[in-house]
Structures are given as structure tokens and as C-alpha cells.
Structure 1
Amino acid sequence: MTAAHETSTRNQRPFPYALRSFSIRFVDGEIPGEVAHWIQAVALGFYGNAPTPDMSKHYVHTEQVDGRVVTGAYLSDSVAPAGAWGVEYPVATYAYHRKTLNIGSGTLLPVHQITAVTVRPSHRRRGLLRAMMSSDLAQAKAAGLAIAALTATEATIYGRFGFGVATHECGVEVTVKGGIAFHHPAAAARGTVEVADASTILDLHNDVFAKVHGFTYGSIGRHDMYRHTASGQGSYESMDPVKNIRAALHYNAAGEVDGYVTYKPLEDAARSTVEIVDLLAATEGAYLALWNFLGSLDLIDCIKWGQAPEVDPLEWAMVSKRDYKRTKTEDLLWLRILDVPAALAARHYQQDGSITIHVGDPLGHASGSFRITVVEGSATVTKLVEDLSAQDPLAPGSSAQDPELSMGIVELSSLYLGGVEARTLAAAGRIHENSAGAVARFDALFRPAHAPHCLTHF
């Protein structure tokens, strides 16, 4: 998750900061001072509770599992005023870990996941975010990562670094008083669902998520803290167990756990409500069966969930579609293509064909014109020209070797999973069609077999 408020400035100022990177880890069983100070700075940036020694130890343990590498920006040529945090505390923070993204057809692509981005209010508009982001993205590309990813607390910051919205999540309220009536009840009765102690999810989570991750197009890897939060056994804020969290497991025909839901009651004066904490299902049958269980809870009028997919089978499985209400739709996963040929060649395509596109990238990682040729679902991507990183892809004369479409790296990154169509971005003025019918042919090539859905905040 990112929480920076950095904005660009035209005024050139001195840069009195040193950027230092290090791994989150224990040394001889203790937390190094630089790690402890970095954790404190992140908590400040996200308005979290000041970490206790026990919380910091738990944080380090989980982040060490993920192999998280962090960066801090430190004052290098001044002394902090008396009483203020010393120069050993970073004035800006940044972190990454690397997991995988489900890009369809059984492919899990390694991705560079950025998180914990903060800039102290007293040090904004001094180029800190740009310095950290530019350096990190360059290193990620040099390491062979084709895509970077993040989830953003604020929606107006990361486009200038090439990130585009790739998936959304929905907040839903499902009226369940008297149970959920399904068009085909048998579809929601596959396997069995049984109640379990929420603490069991701590050990089950990773295996279940691995199944879900492999099944769900657009899913991105989860960090270790997720299993603690999903089971009510702790979070970044507190290690106190959540006493009113409950769990249910779904078993398939072979008796294997292939899904679960954890949930808790909410205080709602208007109607009795349960909130889903985490819901994972590796099959459509497990998904509907878990909802069937939730609908059967006694004395409950409504189920709330904040991570429902944009295209939700539950909505269409219910006899009373009006009992399914979306309360919000919000961006979740942002992608940033670093290597166009590698990223586009990695994914599967539903239709064969070819198209030439021009991509503009202000940071220079992915600029150029590219010929995309798809045969039997696999793409060959050839770069046709030298980088044109300073050129506006929508400006007159921006085409090179007659590309049929011109776009920025933000737009291509949003189009990558097919969560938005090129015709929509063209209508928004964000893609330029140089050859009649090119938008339609691009959409035919990039149309996914399934709508992308991400279940991971980071």
C-alpha cells in the first residue's frame, strides 16, 4: 500500500538526502536500529499506532518471510532540531517484495510489488518520491522483472510513474434474511461447508491461497501478514486476537479444503449484519457454497464484503438480483510495464492476429514502437524503433513506422489484463487510432477469457 503525497515542482532545490536500502531482518535475534526506525516512520505515514516492541518483532518476522527490501531517505547534511526525531529516522519510506501475478492460461508471472511508500509532511515536494521510485524501477527492470505493481491509497500520484489501474474491487451488501434463493440450488451445494476455529486459517491460508491464486486471473501474491489478519490472529496494528471472528471451511468431493470464509458481526442499528474478513474459493462451486452457508446464518439480515469482483457469479446465481447491491467500485491493482516485449509475450491471447503500437514512457523504460504477432495464442513482440521517451504518443507526428495505435505506458499497463478495453480509453481521449479499425483489432487480441480479479492489498 502506498500513502505518499509527493507532487512535482518546477523549482530545482538541493537534495540533502541519502537513500539507503536494506532488508527487513533480525540480526542475532534482535531488530537492527535502522529497521526499527524505518518501521516507526511507516507507522507515522499511515497514521498507525506507534509500534510496540512486540508488534515490531512480529512485523519483522512476517516481512522477513516475504524477503522485503526497504528504502529510507535520510537527511545527510543537517542536524534535526532539539526535540524532533533525529536523522536516524527516514523522512521518506519505500519497500518492495517479489511474488507472482496470474496472467492466465496457468502462467504466474514474477512481479515487483511496491508498498509502504510515505513522505513526511515536512519534506514533501522535494523530489523524494521521484528519486526512490525512479531508482527502484530501474533496478527492477535490470533484474529482469517485466512488470511492477502496487495498490494506492491515493489515486492521483502514480500515473506519472507509468502505473495504470488494472483491476477493481467492489463493496457489496447482500440481503440474506431467510437465506439466499438460487436459480439452481445444486450449483451452491457442491462439496460441504463446516464451521472451524478461525485460528486454523493461520496454517491453512497459504495452501488455500495457492489454489485460488492459480485459479484466479488477475490474482497477485499475498504477503505473510495476510494469514494473520484473515484468521483474526493479528495485524499491522495489533497482535491481540479478534475475539468475534468466525470461520467456515469448504471441502471438495475428495475431502480437501479448497476454500474458506472468515467473518465477524458488525454493530448496525438498522439491521443485523455480518462482515466478511476474507473469502477464498478455488472453484466456482466452492464460492457459491460458501455464500450459501453465509446466507444460512441465523438472525442475520445482511452480509457485507469489500472485495467482491466486478463480475460476480453470485449476483447472477441469486433469484432476487435486487438483493445484491454494490455500494462502491474502487481501483485495486495498479500495474506498470517495464519491458513491453517480455510482458506481452508472457500472457496468453484468445485470438490470433497482429497489430503495431507506439508506446510513450516518460521514464524511458518501455518507449518505442512494437509489432505484436499472435499465433495459436502466443505472441511474438518485436521492437521496431529507437526509444522516443520524450515524445507525446498522442501528439501530431508521434507515430513511428506507422504504428496503428499510439498510447502511453499507463494505458498499456491498464489494458494488459483486459480490465478495460482500448475502445473505452480511445473514447476517453487516451489512445490515438492511426489506422481505421485498429482499436477493435487490439481489443479482439487482448480480450481475456475471464474478467480479472485481485484479492490482495499490499
Structure 2
Amino acid sequence: MLGGHLRIGNVAVERGADTDVASPGYAAWVNGVWEGFYHYKPASDGQLEQMLQSHQADERVLTAVWDDSRPRDLVDPLVPVATYGTFAKTLNIGAAVVPAHLVTSVTVRPTHRRRGILRELMSADLSRAKQAGYPVAALTASEATIYGRFGFGRVTETQTLHLDVRGDVRFHAPATGSMVQLAPGKLAGIANGVFERFHSTRRGSVGRQEAYLRHATGAWGEEGPEPEPKLRAAVYLDGSGEIQGYVTYVFGGWDPKPITLKVRDLVAATEVARREIFRFLASFDLIESVSCPFAAANDPLPWALENPARVGFSEREHGLWVRVLDVPAAFDAREYRGTGSFTLAVTDPLGLADGRYGLEIRDGRATVTALAEASPADATCDVVALAPLLLGSCDTAGLIAAGLLEPSSHTSVAALAALLDLPGVPHAINGF
């Protein structure tokens, strides 16, 4: 527990008593988060109301740390020195979509670093999440080095795709289906359904929070919970007239060059839908480039074009980080190849995933059981390696070469790889 004058508590996601605006405690928490991410302008009452509605829809749990020793004539006692938020969504592990405990809005003021605040918040929260039955926790990290010590492992990478659309952009496949431009507000009844179809089929996809729908409809802009009048939208309809994808975008302005159409969100339930949305984006007059965030590390668009040199990438960075809490529940939901068995020994400094586990794999599905501590292990890893192993972010040989997975002297690495290695890479198209 934190000592001295520091105290931890939850912040109610509610409006103030006898008022139509957010409670002062909630406002202080939101502004603490904003300041932690260098958005220094305090939230207006209207912005707080929008945030409150969104957090209520997500059923978020907001936690704060206060320091009662600060001079009250200098600092509002409601202002926290650290913030921490959680909510529940789902994660597609490959063979199944499982409940996921999501961590967000983590800040600690520079005046209160190295006091064990984050360790106290994170350790207690992960223990509660395991007790509540979550197989995994997940977050998107702004700093890659922070969360490994809590057992989170990197599982996805994202990058910004740039498509040169000067001249005639030719695709190998003929055009199919149709695109319809529409007011962003029309996506209110469309966006979530399209995303759920994508989410159900893409390993590594994580469920979306309420804010994404508000951004898609233009109710929220890139900078926060205020309307975005520049936003435009279109949907892709397949040959039978069913909506299979949507895109939202803004004009980037006449300067700087190249003149760019900026994709804000692109969700496609099928690969054909994604290809045809890019064909649509390549057809705008006067536009020289299209930029699209959250592209996968192995994005297939260059293969779709007669001239793959039209596609470039920038800003490649880590995306989703996952922390395995319940090894049998998580690895039961994983895809495998073939039939076989092996034993995995896991070390976990927090004690949440410690132990030895037997995996019996039959025709691509596994039964995972906890074994006695003395059971011999075919491979050993730290809890950080469980996430990339679970999602197939890296092949077996790569994990061994990186020192994250250690096979025993009697283990056939080729046999292990034949069971565990998966095609493609996991991909998440949203952060939180």
C-alpha cells in the first residue's frame, strides 16, 4: 500500500448533485489525464458532458491517487497526482474472442515519480482482473519500456500507409461493388456492425470503445469531444448491396505538399471491401496522396497495385500490448496447427501466471491444464513472452532467437514450431 499522505480511490462517473454538469471530482480526473498527455487547456462543461456520456457507455472504472500533503492554498485537493482507468471489451485470440480487461488513461505527475504509485495501481488492478475471470489484460502504450515489468508483451505493430495517387492508379483486380458517399452521421447505425464483423475474423483485434462511434459520425473531432465539420464519409456495398466497409476522411489542406486526403478511420469486413475503398480514395481530383493510419505490418495493398512503389509507410510503432492472466483460458482460445503436445513453464514476478502448463493439441485446438510444479517442461518463458506466443506475433524460432522462449535440451524446435507458428500477423485497428 502507498504510504505517507497518498491515498487511492475511485472517481464516480456521474454528474454533480442537483446539476446538469459533470461532478467536480470527475472534471478534476479528466483534466488530470489531459494534462498528463500535454493537453493543458481544461475541458469545458460541454466537453466534460461528452466525455461523461462516453465513459458511462463504456462502464469505465476511474481511479485516482491524491496527495493530501500538498498545500491547499496552492493546489485544489480534488486534483489527482495519478490517474488510472479500466473498462471491459474483447480480444480476438484467433480461435475465439475472449473478454479482455483494458487499461487506459495512466498518468503520474513528475512530482510523484518513483514512489511506487504505478506499481501499486497496476499490481492491484491486474490481481482483481484475474479474480474477476479475465483471461487477458491489454493496453496501448505511449512508452514501450514501462509495461514489460508488469508482464505485458507487445503483440501488434501499426504504421501509417501513404498512397501516391498522382496519375492513374491501376489495380490488378477489376472494380467490384460500389461506393456511396454519405453524411458521417449516417454511420451511427452502420459503423459498429461493420467493425464487429472485422473484429470477429481478425486475430489481434480488440473491441472498440464508445469514442470511436462518436469520431466516425463527426460528433467528435481529432482533437477531442467537439464536432468535426470537415469530416466526410463513404461506405462500400458488395454486389448484393450489403455494406461491407466504411471510411471517414478529411481534406488535409492545400499546404503542405503533397496535397493529402487523410483517412481518419477505415474498417472493412472483407479484404475486397478494403481494396475497393482504397480504389475510391485514389479517385479524388487534385489529391496527390492518401494517408491511412493503423495499417498492419504486412499490409497487402502494394500487392493489389500494378505499381507497388506507389505505397510507402511511416511511423511504424508498437500497438497493442497484452498481459496473460489465466494461461489455460487464454491458450484454449488460440489457434494451433496439427496434433501434438508439450509442456510450458512460465515465470511471473507478480505470481498471476506462474506455473507449468500442459497443452494437448488435436486438429488445431488445445486443451490446456495446470500441472504439478515438478513436471518437466519442454520450454520455459517469462510472462512477457506469453503474449506474442499467444497471438502468434513472432514465430517460435524468432522468440527463441530473442531469448524470450527457451526450449529444453530434449525439445524438437521444429516440432514445436509446427504446432505453434501461425500465418500472418495479428492486427488491431484502434487504440484506447
Q: TM-score, normalised by structure 2?
A: 0.94
Give the partner amino acid of 1:415: L
Aligned mates of 1:233, 1:275 — CA distance in 2: 18
**Distance change in 2, residues 1:94/1:442 (3 Å):** farther
The answer as to 2:129 corresponding to 1:143 is no
The SS at the match of 2:241 is: coil
The SS at the match of 1:327 is: strand
**Distance change in 2, residues 1:97/1:37 (3 Å):** same
Q: Does structure 2 retain, via aligned residues, the 8 Å contact 1:67–1:97?
A: yes
**Distance change in 2, residues 1:143/1:293 (3 Å):** same
Deviations 1:276-327 (A, max 9, x none): 1100000111111101101111122211112111122212111111111122
| Pick aligned residue for 2:38 from 30, 47, 64 | 47
Aligned-pair CA distance for 1:415: 1.6
Q: Does structure 2 retain, via aligned residues, the 8 Å contact 1:217–1:450?
A: no
Q: Does structure 2 retain, via aligned residues, the 8 Å contact 1:68–1:95?
A: yes
Matched with 1:394 is none
The answer as to 2:203 corresponding to 1:217 is yes
The SS at the match of 1:270 is: coil
Tell me which moved more, 96-105 or 27-36.
27-36
**What are the within-5 Å matches in structure 2 for residues 269-348 of structure 1?**
269-348=256-335
The answer as to 2:97 corresponding to 1:101 is no
The answer as to 2:32 corresponding to 1:36 is no
Give the partner amino acid of 2:80: P
The answer as to 2:376 corresponding to 1:402 is yes
Aligned mates of 2:244, 2:16 — CA distance in 1: 38
| Pick aligned residue for 2:369 from 377, 382, 388 | 382
| Pick aligned residue for 2:62 from 59, 62, 70 | 70
Deviations 1:32-52 (A, max 9, x none): 332122112111111123111
Aligned-pair CA distance for 1:81: 4.8
Matched with 2:165 is 176
**Distance change in 2, residues 1:322/1:128 (3 Å):** same
Aligned-pair CA distance for 1:235: 4.3
Aligned mates of 1:417, 1:457 — CA distance in 2: 17
| Pick aligned residue for 2:141 from 152, 159, 165 | 152
Deviations 1:404-438 (A, max 9, x none): 21111101112211011221121122222213554
Aligned mates of 1:87, 1:339 — CA distance in 2: 38
**What are the within-5 Å matches in structure 2 for residues 122-271 of structure 1?**
122-185=111-174, 189-235=175-221, 237-267=223-253, 268-271=255-258
The SS at the match of 1:130 is: helix
Matched with 1:16 is 5
Aligned mates of 1:371, 1:362 — CA distance in 2: 21
Aligned-pair CA distance for 1:249: 0.7
Q: Does structure 2 retain, via aligned residues, the 8 Å contact 1:334–1:414?
A: no
Aligned mates of 1:13, 1:112 — CA distance in 2: 24
**Distance change in 2, residues 1:239/1:409 (3 Å):** closer
**Distance change in 2, residues 1:257/1:184 (3 Å):** closer
**Distance change in 2, residues 1:438/1:61 (3 Å):** farther
**Distance change in 2, residues 1:25/1:348 (3 Å):** farther
Deviations 1:97-128 (A, max 9, x none): 101111224x2110000000000111111000
The answer as to 2:79 corresponding to 1:89 is yes
Q: Does structure 2 retain, via aligned residues, the 8 Å contact 1:190–1:286?
A: no
Deviations 1:84-109 (A, max 9, x none): 2x22221100011101111224x211
Aligned mates of 2:425, 2:176 — CA distance in 1: 23
Give the partner amino acid of 1:331: H
Give the partner amino acid of 1:102: N
**Distance change in 2, residues 1:239/1:136 (3 Å):** closer
| Pick aligned residue for 2:109 from 120, 123, 141 | 120
CA RMSD of aligned residues (A): 2.0
Aligned mates of 1:318, 1:416 — CA distance in 2: 33
The answer as to 2:404 corresponding to 1:430 is yes
Aligned mates of 1:25, 1:450 — CA distance in 2: 43
Q: Does structure 2 retain, via aligned residues, the 8 Å contact 1:360–1:366?
A: yes
Aligned mates of 2:397, 2:339 — CA distance in 1: 19
Q: TM-score, normalised by structure 1?
A: 0.89
Tell me which moved more, 279-288 or 341-350.
341-350
Tell me which moved more, 168-177 or 132-141.
168-177
Give the partner amino acid of 1:75: D
Q: Does structure 1 retain, via aligned residues, the 8 Å contact 2:267–2:274?
A: yes
Q: Does structure 2 retain, via aligned residues, the 8 Å contact 1:405–1:435?
A: no
Aligned-pair CA distance for 1:15: 4.4
Q: How many residues align?
A: 428
Matched with 1:353 is 340
Matched with 1:391 is none
Aligned-pair CA distance for 1:199: 2.6
Aligned mates of 2:166, 2:222 — CA distance in 1: 34
Aligned-pair CA distance for 1:234: 1.1
**Distance change in 2, residues 1:167/1:347 (3 Å):** same
Aligned mates of 1:178, 1:151 — CA distance in 2: 38
**Distance change in 2, residues 1:25/1:212 (3 Å):** farther
Q: Does structure 2 retain, via aligned residues, the 8 Å contact 1:355–1:441?
A: no
Aligned-pair CA distance for 1:195: 1.1
The SS at the match of 1:416 is: helix
The SS at the match of 2:391 is: coil
Matched with 2:352 is 365
Aligned-pair CA distance for 1:376: 2.3
Structure 2: segments with no counterpart, 5+ residues:
none
**Distance change in 2, residues 1:101/1:179 (3 Å):** farther
**Distance change in 2, residues 1:351/1:322 (3 Å):** same
